[in-house]
Structure 1
Amino acid sequence: MAGVAKRVQRHRERLRAAGLKPVQIWIPDPAQPGFAEECRRQSQLIAKSAEEDEILDFIEAASDHRGWRE
């Protein structure tokens, strides 16, 4: 296992040398019960919102569509 640990350490050192740093984020687990229902609930709130167009414009602007088919 020491070989793997050394390889990972070297890889991380190269990333840091390239100006990157590790970041840990926590996101909702789509496998959890209720995830789809919560997505639906939030989507319905947006659809009923007076700011729907502004919200959708923000999502569109923040999305990276490079490589997507249209």
Structure 2
Amino acid sequence: MPARAKKPPPKSPRQRMQTRREAMRARGLRPVQHWVPDLRDPAVRADILRQGRLLARHSENAAIDAWIDDVYEPDDR
């Protein structure tokens, strides 16, 4: 019976991530970090609602809505 080749030890999560990042960079990609509002935070949600109420009262809403209706084509998806 032939001797089995010994398996290399499994890679750590850090090593696996490094291998993945190297492969992505080799494909011409780069990492980018995005920060988004935390909607779980009550203060953030309250501020978004406040801003929405301000936008709803904007004096040019009718003109903006008319422009959207003019340029919107449902087949552009």
Higher relative contact order (CA 8 A, sep 6+): 1
Summarize the alignment of residues 40-59 of structure 1 with structure 2, pairs less than 5 Å apart.
40-52=49-61, 53=64, 57=68
Bigger Rg, which one: 2
Runs of 4+ with deviation above 3 angstroms: none
Q: Which runs of 5+ in 2 are unaligned?
A: 1-10
Q: How many residues align?
A: 57
Measured against aligned partners, the alpha-carbon deviations of 1:17-57 in whole angstroms (never above 9, x if no partner) come to: 22211112222211112222111111111111134327xx5
Distance across 2 between alignment mates of 1:3 and 1:36: 39
- Structure 1-normalised TM-score? 0.59
Structure 1 unaligned spans of 5+: none
Q: TM-score, normalised by structure 2?
A: 0.55
Partner of 2:17: 8
Give the share of equivalent positions with the same residue, in percent: 38
